[in-house]
């Protein structure tokens, strides 16, 4: 039965009726009677009269309704040779206990808590404990450098930071506590306490009384009950790269997010209660928030939390081993992960050692899914592979193949159709809607459905300027693309200076600021260039100041290290070229699009008539091809 046309039409024509009906899938302390309340800027608050607690919906509800002994979370860590499981009852009790510890540190509803953790169960426990109390969590990816952590601490002003003594990267132990200590020294307003989960492989030195040993401090703590939350209360702040270089704190509400995730688990992923979902991402990203932690648990499913890589932990058969061992129905990761598997095991020899009998579907998102990766994955697994498109800002998929209500043929390069709730249009620069097969800006007609960002933390002006001002009455996604004659949406890439490195967003503007701080650098540009494995990687181009005699290779190494120190190795800036000049317009604007074309080896580069110095193009082409 194809229910998609009906649901999609109803979601756009009668959004309040549609989403109030979806809200009935959750347990509310006070069920909402009002679906949406419009805001002056054209967005909307959802379920304003509803009261709930998302941690209660994700854990207590299932315990109270007969799922207490079902597996809620499976932890698999090949990097530490550790496996463990949590039933819904066990996870509920762990979360309530840790929430009691946070409460003992005077964390209350509305307070912020920064979480800087590796992929261990305690990361999910910390998130859910914050939600239980009504505290606003902000998870920072464990690969970020102290400076990036400090910037987020200063913006969120948390009462507590939660961390672990270390993370593990393949076979390398990375102490986290020194990073946190340095970040707190850099921060203008450090929090009162740091709670540390001690891992046996690397125990951290604590600074009393500021630092608290998680395991020791739990003794004698009274488990905390769930706070009653308004649907519009913030659940978390998640930082994403912005074009200014300053991270944007995307604010997610509680009720709308819970409703949207519950709906998407059925509609987009086809997951039923009791099934197993394996999302190979990180809790520091939106995918981890939505589909490692909250989405599966809200749905009564089992989630796999994996501390490892698609390859080298120990080999390119890691994903297939997990799917077989835990009876996974849905596997979801970034295209980069599957490209890495293909590179290491092109004939899928390791796959032959494992049965994928229970695996029903494979999903990819976070970056453009190139057709060769799609086709290879389908061919070697024999499973349907679905591309889908969404963002940190949306919190859940905007375009997907809605397998829970209808299944459509896939088209390589397309994320298929808009998900119910999203009125997606392709707009010209003047805001007029474009015809099929014409490329333009991908925008969503307001109001946005539940679950999307409600503002930027502490900066409503930036929220409006960044997302609502470009096209009146629309949310501007920052992505470009088109619709074909069948209404399929094709996302072609960013229209701003944010690049996508293996599914992680980084601002080239921020990297330029770091390079420009070097005393030898007169001018610089950072662009994203195509990469076979990661989709995009940053490339730096710098002009040195007159009189500087440093060797280019020495300066390049120094600048690469600067970016590693300020942002982290995850940014993947590994090449910085020293060049004599950069292509500019006569008004002095660097032609970054031209630079990207040259770096990607485009032989059909058209030299703009506005260029100030056409002669530099051939020079740069030669330099970048060396």
Per-residue pLDDT of 296-318, as tens digits, reads: 999 999 999 999 999 999 999 99
> What is the model's pLDDT at position 317?
98
Q: Which residues contact 143 (CB under 8 A, 6 or more apart)?
A: 167, 284, 568, 569, 570
Strand ranges (E), 457-608: 474-483, 489-494, 498-501, 504-507, 521-531, 535-544, 576-578
- 8 A C-beta contact, residue 222 and residue 200: no
Structure-token pair, residue 334: 């970034």
- 8 A C-beta contact, residue 141 and residue 392: no
Is domain 498-625 in CATH 3.30.300.30, yes or no? yes
Strand ranges (E), 47-101: 51-52, 71-77, 82-87
371 φ/ψ angles, rounded to the nearest 5 degrees = -55, -40
> What is the model's pLDDT at position 27?
98
pLDDT confidence bin for 500, thresholds 50/70/90: confident
Q: What rounded mean pLDDT belongs to the chain?
A: 93
- Under DSSP, the state recorded for 507 is E
Q: Which of 514, 516, 620, 528 is nearest to 577 (CA)?
A: 620
- SS3 label, residue 176: coil
What average pLDDT does this structure show over 492-512?
77
Least confident of 206-210, 512-516, 571-575, 622-626: 622-626
pLDDT confidence bin for 538, thresholds 50/70/90: very high
> What is the model's pLDDT at position 245?
62
Q: What digits encode the pLDDT tens for the residues 324-382?
A: 999 999 999 998 899 889 988 989 999 999 999 999 999 999 887 888 889 999 999 99
Question: Is the pLDDT at 445 greater than 60, yes or no?
Answer: yes
What average pLDDT does this structure show over 168-194?
96
Question: Is the pLDDT at 493 greater than 80, yes or no?
Answer: no
What average pLDDT does this structure show over 450-465?
96
What average pLDDT does this structure show over 137-142?
96
Question: Is the pLDDT at 609 greater than 60, yes or no?
Answer: no
> What is the model's pLDDT at position 217?
98
Question: Is the pLDDT at 244 greater than 70, yes or no?
Answer: no
Handedness of CA 286, 292, 294, 299 (dihedral sign): positive
What average pLDDT does this structure show over 281-290?
96
| Residue environment code for 429-466, b if the CB has 16+ CB neighbours within 10 A, otherwise e | eeeeeeeeeeebbbbbbbbbbbbbbbbbbebeebbeeb
> What is the model's pLDDT at position 626?
64
- SS3 label, residue 506: strand
- 8 A C-beta contact, residue 128 and residue 58: yes
Strand partners, 526: 540
Where residue 312 falls (left for φ over 0; alpha for ψ -120 to 50; beta otherwise) is left
Q: In degrees, to the nearest 5, what angle opens at C-alpha 246 toward C-alphas 242 and 252?
A: 65
Q: How many CB atoms lie within 10 A of CB 53?
A: 26
What average pLDDT does this structure show over 382-406?
97
What average pLDDT does this structure show over 91-117?
98
Structure-token pair, residue 161: 């930071």
Q: How many CB atoms lie within 10 A of CB 140?
A: 24
Q: What are the domain boundaries of the chain?
A: 498-625
- 8 A C-beta contact, residue 134 and residue 229: yes
**Strands of 455-456's sheet in order across:** 211-213, 193-197, 160-164, 112-116, 136-139, 234-240, 248-253, 455-456
> What is the model's pLDDT at position 603?
66
pLDDT confidence bin for 586, thresholds 50/70/90: low
With residue 29 as reference, give the H or E element that holds it: none
- 8 A C-beta contact, residue 226 and residue 56: yes
d(CA 41, CA 329): 41
Question: Is the pLDDT at 75 greater than 80, yes or no?
Answer: yes
Q: Which of 558, 458, 11 is nearest to 249 (CA)?
A: 458
What average pLDDT does this structure show over 408-419?
95
What is the CA 247 to chain-centroid distance, rounded? 13
What's the pTM? Answer: 0.87
Where residue 488 falls (left for φ over 0; alpha for ψ -120 to 50; beta otherwise) is beta
| Residue environment code for 287-304, b if the CB has 16+ CB neighbours within 10 A, otherwise e | bbbbbbbbbbbbbbbbbb
Question: Is the pLDDT at 243 greater than 60, yes or no?
Answer: no
Q: What digits encode the pLDDT tens for the residues 9-59?
A: 999 999 999 999 999 999 999 999 999 999 988 899 999 999 999 999 999
Q: In degrees, to the nearest 5, what angle opens at C-alpha 121 toward C-alphas 118 and 122?
A: 75
d(CA 253, CA 233): 6
């Amino acid at each position: 039965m194809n229910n998609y046309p009906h649901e999609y039409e109803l979601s756009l024509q009668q959004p309040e009726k549609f989403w109030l009906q979806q809200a009935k899938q959750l347990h509310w302390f006070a069920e909402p009677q009002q679906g949406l309340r419009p805001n002056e800027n054209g967005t909307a608050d959802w379920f304003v009269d509803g009261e709930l607690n998302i941690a209660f919906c994700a854990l207590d509800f299932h315990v109270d309704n007969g799922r207490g002994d079902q597996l809620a979370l499976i932890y698999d860590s090949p990097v530490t040779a550790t496996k463990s499981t949590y039933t819904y009852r066990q996870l509920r009790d762990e979360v309530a206990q840790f929430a009691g510890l946070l409460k003992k540190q005077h964390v209350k509803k509305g307070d912020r808590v920064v979480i800087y953790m590796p992929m261990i169960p305690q990361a999910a426990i910390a998130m859910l404990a914050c939600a239980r109390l009504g505290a606003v969590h902000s998870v920072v990816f464990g690969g970020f450098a102290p400076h990036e952590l400090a910037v987020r601490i200063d913006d969120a002003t948390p009462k507590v930071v939660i961390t672990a003594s270390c993370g593990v990267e393949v076979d390398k132990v990375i102490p986290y506590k020194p990073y946190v200590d340095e970040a707190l020294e850099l921060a203008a307003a450090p929090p009162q306490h740091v709670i540390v989960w001690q891992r046996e492989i690397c125990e951290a030195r604590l600074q009393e009384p500021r630092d608290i040993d998680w395991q020791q401090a739990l003794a004698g703590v009274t488990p905390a009950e769930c706070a009653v939350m308004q649907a519009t209360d913030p659940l978390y702040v998640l930082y994403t790269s912005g074009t200014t270089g300053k991270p944007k704190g995307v604010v997610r509400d509680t009720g709308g997010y819970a409703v949207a995730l519950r709906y998407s688990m059925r509609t987009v992923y086809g997951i039923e209660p009791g099934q197993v979902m394996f999302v190979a991402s990180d809790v520091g990203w939106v995918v981890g928030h939505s589909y490692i932690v909250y989405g599966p648990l809200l749905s009564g499913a089992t989630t796999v939390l994996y501390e490892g890589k698609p390859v080298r932990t120990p080999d390119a058969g890691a994903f297939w081993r997990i799917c077989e061992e835990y009876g996974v129905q849905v596997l979801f990761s970034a295209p980069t992960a599957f490209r890495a598997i293909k590179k290491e095991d092109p004939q899928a020899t390791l796959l032959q050692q494992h049965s994928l009998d229970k695996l029903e579907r494979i999903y990819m998102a976070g970056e453009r899914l190139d057709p060769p990766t799609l086709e290879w994955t389908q061919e070697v697994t024999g499973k349907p592979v679905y591309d889908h498109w969404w963002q940190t800002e949306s919190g859940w998929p905007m375009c997907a193949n809605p397998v829970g209500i209808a299944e459509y043929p896939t088209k390589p390069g397309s994320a298929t159709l808009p998900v119910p709730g999203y009125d997606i249009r392709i707009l010209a620069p003047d805001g007029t809607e474009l015809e099929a097969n014409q490329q333009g800006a991908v925008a969503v007609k307001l109001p946005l459905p539940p679950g999307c960002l409600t503002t930027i933390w502490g900066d409503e002006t930036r929220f409006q300027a960044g997302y609502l001002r470009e096209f009146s009455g629309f949310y501007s996604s920052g992505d470009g693309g088109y619709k074909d004659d069948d209404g399929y949406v094709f996302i072609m890439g960013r229209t701003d200076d944010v690049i996508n490195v293996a599914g992680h967003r980084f601002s080239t503007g921020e990297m330029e600021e770091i390079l420009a701080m070097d005393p030898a650098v007169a001018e610089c540009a950072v662009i994203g260039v195509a990469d076979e494995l990661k989709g995009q990687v940053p490339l730096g181009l710098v002009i040195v100041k007159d009189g500087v005699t440093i060797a280019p290779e020495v300066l390049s190494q120094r600048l690469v290290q600067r970016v590693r120190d300020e942002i982290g190795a995850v940014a993947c800036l590994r090449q910085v070229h020293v060049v004599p000049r950069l292509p500019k317009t006569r008004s002095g604007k660097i032609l970054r699009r031209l630079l990207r074309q040259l770096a990607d080896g485009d032989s059909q580069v058209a030299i703009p008539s506005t260029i100030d110095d056409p002669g530099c193009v051939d020079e740069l082409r030669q330099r970048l091809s060396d």
